[in-house]
Structures are given as C-alpha cells and as structure tokens.
Structure 1
Amino acid sequence: MQIADGIHYIGVNDHDIDLFEGQFVVPDGMAYNSYAIVDQKIAVMDSVDQHFGQEWIQNLEAALDGREPDYLIVQHMEPDHSANVSLFMERYPQATVVASVSAFNMMANYFGTKYEGRNMVIKEGSTLSLGTHELSFVAAPLVHWPEVMFTYDATAKVLFSADAFGKFGALDVEQDWDCEARRYYFGIVGKFGKNVQAVLKKVAALDIQTICPLHGPVLSGDLTHYLSQYDTWSSYGVETPGVVIAYTSVYGHTRQTVEELAAALSKKGAQRVVVTDLARDDQAEALEDAFRHSVLVLATTTYNGGFFPTMHEFVSHLVDHNFQRRTVAFVQNGSWMPAAAKGMRALLEQCAGIDFAQNVVTVKGSLDDESRAQIDALADELVAKI
C-alpha cells in the first residue's frame, strides 16, 4: 500500500493475539505498522512484533523491488516495534540504524549491542536527507516511553508519530477510530498528558497532511478531529458530558441501588448514563469511560474493613493513570459498618482537581426509605453538575 509518493506501508496484522501488553483485550487483533520511504536513499520506519519478522521482511522486499535499505529508523523501542531490529541489521549489513541515545541504550539491553560503527544518533531537530524526502526528528519523551522520537517528512508532509494516534485493532477490520483509539490512549498513554501536550505544541508548527502511527490506520485528509481528540484527552478535558456508574455487587443489593440511581439520573435530565459492572465488564473500557465523561460514581461493598477488591483494582488504575478534573460520587454498602466510601475517597485524594459530591448513598444491606432518599439527593446534585 502506498501512503504517499515514495512511502509504502509494510506492516502486519496480528489475529493470534488475545491480550495486548498482557492486559488489554483485543478481539479484533492488532496492527504493527512499519513504513518504507524509497528515495535515492531508503529508510525503513520501525520493525514489527517478533512473531512476524519474516512476513515483515517479505513486505519490505516487495516494496524495495530489488534494492536494499540504507537506514532503519527506530522511533520506539517497545518490543512490538523493535523486536526485529537485529534481524534487519543481520540481513542488511550495509544499513545504518538511526535512533535516540536512550533508544541505543535500550538496544544494548535487548540485543547486547548499540551497533557501534553502524549507528546514527539523533535528537530534537536532527535532520536526514534521503534525496527528495527531507526528514527531521521531534523528541517525544514519555509518549509513552522516554526514548520516543517522531519523524516528519517535509516533502510528503507526513508525520510518523510512533505510538501516538494509535488504536487497538487489525487493519483488515472495520472499526470506529474514536472508541478503540480512546481505549488505547487512556490505557497506555493516558498518564502522560503533560508530555502529549508538549509534543502536540511542537507538531502544531508543522504542515501535516498525513499521520502514520505504529498501530491503527494511517490518518489523512482533514486531521482536525484526531488532533482535537488528542488535545482533549491529554489535557484531561471532558469529551462527553454524562455520568459513568462503575460498580461491584456481591448479592445484588448494590446493583439494585445502581439501577435505581441510573433511573433517577435519567428521569432528572441526565442525557447520558453509562453503567459498568467491574467484575464482568472490561476494566479498560471502564477506565476509558471514566476519562471520557464528566461525572464518575463508584458503587461498591465494604469488604475486610475496606472495599471490594475489584473496585480497589479499578480505583488504583484511575490513580495510576493520572485521573483528574472530574466530579466523583460514592455509593457504599455495608451490613454493619459501611466503610467503602471513606477508603475510595482516601485513594482518590491523590488525584488533582477532584470534586467530591457532597451526597453519599449508604446502603446497610438492602435499600430502604433512607437510602432511596439519598439516591434522590445524589441524582439532583449530579445532574446540576453535568
């Protein structure tokens, strides 16, 4: 597939994978993207996962039509992109590997060598001419590893964006970009919003017509939507006004409470209410929803003097991913000593800009008139905040 004049797609699809990075469910597989820029000199942009080395080489050689590459540009050292660096360097002994200092240090860890004598160290502002195609490099540290570099082709107006603007899903599956790009962003990149904001400011000065990420489709045409989404996500802005209710329930009483709260919110005017069972639904989807919406309700049971383990895991994910600038409310259940709200709040107080709802719903075993009145009061408060 030709991306632009002289730029070819040589990546692969993976439908064997069940968990990306050992944790994210990917029912539609993954794409590991790689690109070849064919000019007077030839540069290859990253490699692919270790299981697809031979397929990648075949794709590369089909694009090169008998020529040999001059450069392998390593933008990101995560193994799903760098695993075949050594295969490439052995197969093409005249080639030079191009990467940042940090990336070469990681190569020493992974491959036992920094390819001394065959390496080119690049940094912010470095350039590389391939003939017609003029490349420059943009440092993107912690988007989402410290060694990451973007590459800009000024001739074709193409930004090679490493993992930024990527998404879950193989390229031979039709998917909405936003949903799986959002889940990918908040699960993998989301903690590093400040770093994403910094690199967005850098690339805003470039004339970009096409974005080539390392996962997901090549983005072209009007890029405003993709750039706007990344700006919202990385600044922790609200994308969709609404309420997410994330819950766990042991015997069904907390679930019933959540159902009544969701109904009350809708009746009082909330246009969007999302309910997710943390014990059964994908926690990565729940995390995505928490960052997407303006209000988060956490509903769970008191457990061993604290709160239910599945909820503890989810709240820990929120803290670890830099959750912030949201309204958070609590629903707690406890037959004799409700303590879940206190425990959840203590963890979330580490997060910046959290507005804790004044009303807390407390259920002592099962719903009664008092707890139903608390549901009504909380619904009023949250609808006003939306």
Structure 2
Amino acid sequence: MHNVREITKDLYSIGGDDRKLSRFENIHPIPEGISYNSYLLVDEKTVLLDTVDLSISDNFIENVQEVLGERPLDYLVINHMEPDHAGSIGFIQEYYPDVKVIGTKKTFDLLDQFNFKTSEDNIVVKDGDTMSFGEHELMFISAPMVHWPETMATFDTSNGVLFTADAFGTFKSLDGKLFNDEVDFESDFLVPARRYYSNIVGKYGPQVQSLMKKASKLDVKYIAPLHGPVWRTDLEYILDKYDKWSKYEAEEQGVLIVYGSMYGNTEKAAEDLAKRLIQKGMTNIKMYDASKTHVSYLVSDAFKYSHIVLASATYNLNIYTPVQNFLLDIKSLNLRNRTVGIVGNGSWAPTAEKLMKEILGKMKDMDVLEESFTITSTMKEEDVPKMEALADSIIETLE
C-alpha cells in the first residue's frame, strides 16, 4: 500500500519510517525509530531526489510508482550517498533503466564503490549549477563534509524548497505526519534532533556554517531533510538551533555531570557536587551514570549544556572506560567552548584526573577549572572544602 503526501505543487514526499531498526549506523539506539525521506518532483520532466534505506525499499518503490503512474523517471538527484539514503538506487535503476543520475564528481566515485551503475548520460554538477525541468529550476549547492565529501543540497528556485540531505535531520519516526507544524517539535523531536546532529554531523560545524551562509542568500520557504519533518513554518527556530550547535555554543546555562563509578564511591561524590550546586541556586543539572547510558545521549547533552563535570574512578591506571569513551567521543566531534570540572578517584594509583586533563588539553577552547581535584577511595571530611570550592567555581563561571 502506497504512502504518499504532497508537500507543495508538483512535489511529493515518498519516503517512510523504519521502526524495526534498533541502532542507527549500528551504533546509536533509536527506540523511537527513524524516517527515511525521499522526494519526487513531477514537472515536464520527473525528478527523484534521493532514495531510501533497503529496509523500506518495497514501500518506497510502490510510492514512486503511485506518483509516476505510466510516466518514466527522467532524473535521480543524489544529494548524499550514505546507504541509508542510497540503498535503493539499484532498484530505481532496475525499474527505470533510462534514469539519468545527477550528482557531484565525488558522488559518481562513490556510486562505483558501492557497485551501482553509472553511464555517460550521468550529469556531474558543481556548486551553483542549475537545471530546468519545466516550471521548476533546481540549483545545486555544494556542501562537502555535511557530513560526507560528496554531499550537496538542492534548491528549487520556483517554490523555495531546500533539500538539505542530512542537515536538519532527526532521529524518530514520523508516524504519518510530515510537516513540523504537525508535530510538537520542542517536546517530541528536539532531543532526537540534537542527538542526531551532535553524533552524526557535530564534527563538521564549520562546514554546516558554510552551508547555512549559502542558504541565507536564498528565499527558502521549506527545508526538506532526509530524516525527520519537513519545515514549512518557523524556519528560524531550527536555523537558530543549527547555528548554535554548529558554532559549539551551549543552548542552556547548566551542568552536565557524567560519572563512572565501580562501587558507588565516585557516584556519591558526584551526588555531593550536585547537591551543593542546587543549594547555591543552580538546578539545571543533568546527571548520568556513564556505565548505564549510551554515549550518544551523553554527547547530545554535552552539546546542550554550558558546563560539564567528569567524575571518574581510575581503572587499570587509566580513566574509567565509559567516561573515557565519552571524553574521546566529544574530542573526536570537536566539541569546544565548555567549562569543565573534574573529580578523580583512585585507591592506590589515582591517575584519572591527570589523564582527563591531558585529553581536554588537546581540545579547543575547553576551560578546565583549577579547583578540580582527586579523592582517594571515598570522599572524606578533608575533601569537603575542595568540593565546595569546585561548586563555587562552577557557579561563578555560569553567566
């Protein structure tokens, strides 16, 4: 059974939801599923903009056939070659063997790598190139490393739709909805959107900024990503979020406490710090046991909050593994502009504080508080002034 919705004149959404997949990219939990978006433009010529993951290819092909009827598919625009969007290219080429592919030069390199067909009829486009398909003219906008090197965005100059590939995407299935004004984005999609951005695209903030600068010169009326709702109202809201995230600016003044504790002693120290911060007026605190929380959720809140506290036991003369994994993740994602407090712990060779500082020292614009300190095995009375000083320092650096 087909599942098609009209976005605006001549343009249809023909993607679908995947609620069976447990982990996106086999890493990130998606308990609420995910959507794979694809768009079909029906003009004098017909244009498909990206395909979908193999997991929903049957429904996808039904949707394409429902919209086209007896018409051929003339063109396939590939904005992004990652398999969750390019996985069904082979089926499209099988059902519509005369389709011409449009993409960047790197797109065709990747088509070869993934063993899809290429031909002399394929069209290589560069930044700013345009093509007319009847009433609709598409402009192709280079967006390398948002978040693969071949990525581009496509802008329909006639209706103001900007097809943004993975930019402005989000985890979570759409459940029959399509537009941002059909969902409560703040309540239901903001957390999945932040987790998607920070973990998938977050490393490439400068490249996202470059794309946003290009888009700011266009009369954009719709934002059509490859995951999540299509934006047709309140575009400023999601643009503001992306501006902050891609500049590594905190959304909120608050404290994220991530702790790793083997026997509960480091956890008690983290709780003591949280209590002192609350008593001093800072209640916007989120605390996670790194052993129980998937690191993608920790990364997401690291992009959200202005301050981070790492409380870690020493483990095999190193940082407790789940805390270390989190720290290495935010380092690889280029997170910056955060104030960080550290509480180390150890019984016979406490090294966690020193090693966490070494990793943070290799990151840009991370302000490690001097009041960071180490407890030995358990927090004691002599540690209270140190914890109080750390709490005071966090409060003083909050805006």
Partner of 2:170, secondary structure, is coil
Among 69, 76, 85, the alignment partner of 1:72 is 76
Aligned partners of 2:102 and 2:124 also within 8 Å: yes
| Matching residue of 1:225 | 237
Post-superposition shift, 1:221?
1.2
Among 121, 127, 142, the alignment partner of 1:124 is 127
CA offset digits 1:347-374 (Å, max 9, x no partner):
1111101111011232211111111221
| Matching residue of 1:28 | 32
| Matching residue of 1:86 | 90
Cα separation, partners in 2 of 1:167 and 1:112, compared to 1, 3 Å = closer
CA–CA separation in structure 2 for the residues paired with 1:297 and 1:363:
15
| Matching residue of 1:155 | 158
Within the alignment, does 1:334 sit opposite 2:362 as a pair? no
| Matching residue of 1:177 | 189
Letter of the 2:371 partner, please give it: N
CA–CA separation in structure 2 for the residues paired with 1:152 and 1:182:
24
| Matching residue of 1:53 | 57
CA–CA separation in structure 2 for the residues paired with 1:332 and 1:19:
32
Aligned partners of 2:18 and 2:55 also within 8 Å: no
CA–CA separation in structure 2 for the residues paired with 1:167 and 1:159:
16
CA offset digits 1:210-249 (Å, max 9, x no partner):
1110001111112001001000000111111011000011
Report % sequence identity. Answer: 38
Instruction: Report 1:1-386 matches (<5 A).
Output: 1-111=5-115, 113=117, 115-172=118-175, 176-386=188-398
CA offset digits 1:124-153 (Å, max 9, x no partner):
011111111111010000000000010000
Structure 2 unaligned regions, length at least 5: 177-182
CA–CA separation in structure 1 for the residues paired with 2:287 and 2:116:
49
Partner of 1:184, secondary structure, is helix
Letter of the 1:257 partner, please give it: A
Partner of 1:138, secondary structure, is strand
Post-superposition shift, 1:272?
0.6
Letter of the 1:142 partner, please give it: M
CA offset digits 1:69-88 (Å, max 9, x no partner):
11010110000000111211
| Matching residue of 2:180 | none
**Aligned CA-pair RMSD:** 1.1
CA–CA separation in structure 2 for the residues paired with 1:252 and 1:93:
62
CA–CA separation in structure 1 for the residues paired with 2:116 and 2:368:
50
Partner of 2:256, secondary structure, is strand
Structure 1 unaligned regions, length at least 5: none
Most deviating of 175-184 and 375-384: 175-184
Post-superposition shift, 1:112?
5.2
TM-score of the aligned structures, taking structure 2 as reference length: 0.94
Post-superposition shift, 1:303?
1.4
Partner of 2:171, secondary structure, is coil
Letter of the 1:171 partner, please give it: L
- Runs of 4+ aligned residues of structure 1 deviating over 4 Å after TM superposition are none
Letter of the 1:270 partner, please give it: M
CA offset digits 1:4-23 (Å, max 9, x no partner):
11100000111110000011
CA–CA separation in structure 2 for the residues paired with 1:119 and 1:258:
58
Post-superposition shift, 1:178?
1.6
Letter of the 1:99 partner, please give it: G
TM-score of the aligned structures, taking structure 1 as reference length: 0.98
Partner of 2:114, secondary structure, is helix
Aligned partners of 2:295 and 2:325 also within 8 Å: no
CA–CA separation in structure 1 for the residues paired with 2:156 and 2:357:
48
Letter of the 1:19 partner, please give it: R
Post-superposition shift, 1:118?
2.7
Letter of the 1:277 partner, please give it: D
Aligned partners of 2:17 and 2:173 also within 8 Å: yes
